[in-house]
């Protein structure tokens, strides 16, 4: 496995893969890898000849009071995991490599980029879209792999790929969960034992909404009320948003339908967690 830190080295290595006629899959990450990331790598290996992963804690997607500085960076451990999974290329640049002094061009995905996390974390999706567009240009993958856990990010990146004519396929892999329902997240490692127990309320609320929908309730206000009453059982968990939206536009629905996205973000202690489910 090659670990590359400059854009020039990464470009050359990816170009060589493409010129050899092999397909290239990209798994963009911020490191602190867990089984969810490994599932993305495995999907990439199953669908592409060669897999590249990036490890970059992207400063532009963090707000001024967010966890950029304390975001976990177990770099050696991450590289060992990726090597064990057969990743061929790891791109791990420093911030100055991706954003040299004077860099002033950003990718703004209008509309969808301002909803859900885009509304709660102004500038977040501008940072995500910008770094992912840059990675797409540097790597030139045939396919790029993202987790459904970040459903709003998926909607934003789908719009960007469509609007900017990126010649690649976005592959979205299912959310992985702990046996008790907690969605895997790099931020779970911030949780104390008691907060971790409280955090289960997010998936419980989503499950209750999905079950109520399956039982025949279509009215979004009433569905959300069932979710809020579950959330109320953990008064120390503060809801940031709980919405039922169209999965592509992220616009709120009044009547639930198959394929609708139920998305939640909540603060558990000082940690902001997100989770979602699709109504079937």
By annotation, the residues acting in catalysis are: 37
Choose which of 90, 128, 139, 173 interacts with ligand PAF (CB under 6 A).
128
Residue 276 lies near ligand PAF (rule: CB under 6 A): no
- CA distances, 259 to each of 38, 186, 240, 254, 276 (Å): 26, 27, 23, 14, 12
29 or 159: CB nearest ligand PAF: 29
Shortest spacing between CB 274 and ligand PAF, in angstroms: 11
29 or 212: CB nearest ligand PAF: 29
> Cβ neighbours of residue 93 under 8 Å, at least 6 residues apart?
5, 6, 7, 10, 56
Shortest spacing between CB 251 and ligand PAF, in angstroms: 22
Q: Which of 257, 142, 120, 268 is nearest to 203 (CA)?
A: 268
Which parts of 51-110 interact with ligand PAF (CB under 6 A)? 58, 61
Half-sphere exposure of 129 (CA within 13 A, CB side): 26
Choose which of 4, 10, 29, 93 interacts with ligand PAF (CB under 6 A).
29
Q: Which stretch binds ligand PAF (CB under 6 A): 23-31, 161-169, 193-201, 218-226?
A: 23-31
Phi/psi of residue 67, each to 5°?
-95, 30
Shortest spacing between CB 273 and ligand PAF, in angstroms: 14
Residue 30 lies near ligand PAF (rule: CB under 6 A): yes
Shortest spacing between CB 146 and ligand PAF, in angstroms: 6
Site string for ligand PAF, 135-174 (x = CB under 6 A): ---------------x--x---------------------
DSSP 67: S
| 167 SS3 class | coil
99 or 207: CB nearest ligand PAF: 99
Dihedral sign computed on CA atoms, order 202, 120, 72, 185: positive
Burial per residue of 207-241, b for 16 or more beta-carbon CB atoms within 10 angstroms, e otherwise: ebbbebbeeeeeebeebbebbeebbeebeebebbb
The residues that touch ligand PAF, with contacts defined as CB under 6 A, are: 28-30, 58, 61, 128, 131-132, 150, 153
């Amino acid at each position: 496995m090659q670990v590359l830190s400059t854009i020039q080295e990464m470009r050359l290595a990816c170009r060589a893969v493409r010129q050899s006629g092999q397909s290239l899959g990209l798994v963009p990450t911020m490191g602190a890898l867990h089984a969810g990331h490994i599932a993305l790598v495995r999907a990439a290996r199953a669908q592409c000849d060669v897999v590249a992963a990036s490890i970059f804690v992207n400063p532009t997607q963090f707000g001024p009071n967010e966890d950029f500085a304390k975001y976990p960076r177990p770099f050696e451990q991450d590289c060992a995991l990726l090597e064990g999974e057969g990743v061929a290329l790891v791109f791990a640049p420093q911030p100055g490599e991706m954003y040299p002094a004077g860099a002033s061009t950003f990718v703004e995905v209008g509309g969808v980029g301002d909803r859900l996390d885009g509304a709660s974390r102004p500038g977040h999706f501008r940072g995500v879209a910008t770094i992912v567009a840059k990675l797409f240009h540097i790597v030139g993958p045939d396919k790029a792999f993202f987790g459904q856990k970040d459903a709003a990010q998926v909607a934003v990146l789908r719009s960007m790929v469509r609007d900017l004519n990126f010649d690649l396929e976005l592959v979205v892999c299912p959310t992985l969960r702990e046996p008790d329902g907690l969605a895997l997240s790099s931020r779970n490692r911030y949780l104390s034992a008691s907060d971790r127990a409280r955090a289960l309320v997010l998936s419980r609320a989503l499950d209750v909404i999905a079950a109520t929908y399956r039982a025949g309730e279509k009215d979004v206000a009433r569905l959300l009320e069932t979710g809020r009453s579950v959330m109320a059982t953990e008064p120390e968990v503060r809801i940031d948003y709980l919405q039922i939206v169209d999965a592509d536009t992220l616009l709120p629905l009044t009547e639930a339908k198959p394929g609708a996205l139920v998305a939640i973000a909540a603060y558990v202690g000082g940690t902001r967690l997100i989770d979602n489910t699709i109504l079937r």
